[in-house]
């Protein structure tokens, strides 16, 4: 399809804008920043729990599959293309440098989850542990909770909207990443 025809529907193609996937996809092959990409991709961890696959029924005419299983499943519903996950594309052409310390990807923010994770970690682990607080409703309360317990806390939203590039940036600052909840952030790291 020609760009002129796709441009008419550009405002409908919101799916790939999630976490900046559209910018990453344009940058990798060197497409212009306003190039319309009518591609949809899954927003969470897709480990086969949704049939045929997660988020395949979106308005975008093409599904972005980052694994063979997702590709085969999505192909039964719509045109599908195999492209490495946006996290991997975001890491392309970068020399990885790992930092030091432990990053714990926290559960959804909130008092019950914060206290539960603190009970598991123990207060003595604050010196070498950073908590990644997900930018969900009222996440600022969780940031304050962790900082009040002398943990360092970070979020994907502390420098603007969350992006896959920000995931790569944060993860590369640590040599150990711990996930307690099968978070999509970590699953994307290994997608």
- Residue-wise pLDDT for 90-145, tens only, equals 888 777 677 889 999 999 999 999 999 999 999 899 999 999 998 888 899 999 99
- 148 pLDDT band (50/70/90 cuts)? very high
If DSSP codes are grouped into helix, strand and coil, which group holds residue 57? coil
As beta bridge partners, residue 39 has 62
Q: Is the pLDDT of residue 188 over 60?
A: no
- Residue-wise pLDDT for 153-184, tens only, equals 999 887 778 888 888 889 888 989 888 765 55
Note the pTM of the prediction, 2 decimals. Answer: 0.76
- 54 or 77: whose pLDDT is higher? 77
- 190 or 168: whose pLDDT is higher? 168
pLDDT at site 162: 84
What percent of the chain stands above pLDDT 90? 44
- 190 pLDDT band (50/70/90 cuts)? very low
Instruction: Specify the long-range contacts of residues 22-30, CB closer than 8 Å, at least 24 apart.
Output: 23/163, 24/86, 24/89, 24/90, 24/164, 24/165, 25/64, 25/83, 25/86, 25/89, 28/89, 28/92
Domain annotation for the chain: domains and CATH numbers: 3-83 (no CATH), 102-189 (3.40.50)
As beta bridge partners, residue 133 has 155
């Amino acid at each position: 399809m020609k760009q002129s025809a796709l441009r008419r529907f550009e405002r409908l193609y919101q799916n790939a804008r999630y976490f900046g996937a559209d910018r990453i996809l344009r940058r990798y092959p060197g497409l212009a920043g306003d190039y319309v990409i009518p591609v949809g991709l899954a927003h969470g961890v897709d480990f086969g729990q949704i049939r045929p696959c997660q988020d395949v029924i979106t308005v975008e005419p093409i599904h972005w599959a980052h694994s063979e299983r997702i590709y085969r499943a999505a192909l039964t519903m719509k045109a599908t293309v195999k492209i490495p996950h946006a996290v991997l594309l975001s890491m392309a052409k970068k020399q990885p440098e790992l930092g030091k310390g432990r990053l714990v990807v926290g559960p959804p923010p909130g008092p019950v989850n914060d206290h539960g994770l603190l009970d598991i970690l123990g207060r003595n682990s604050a010196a070498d542990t950073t908590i990644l607080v997900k930018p969900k409703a009222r996440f600022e309360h969780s940031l304050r909770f962790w900082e009040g317990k002398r943990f360092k806390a970070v979020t994907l939203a502390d420098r603007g909207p969350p992006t896959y590039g920000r995931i790569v940036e944060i993860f590369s600052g640590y040599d150990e990443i711990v996930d307690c909840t099968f978070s999509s952030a970590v699953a994307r790291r290994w997608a």
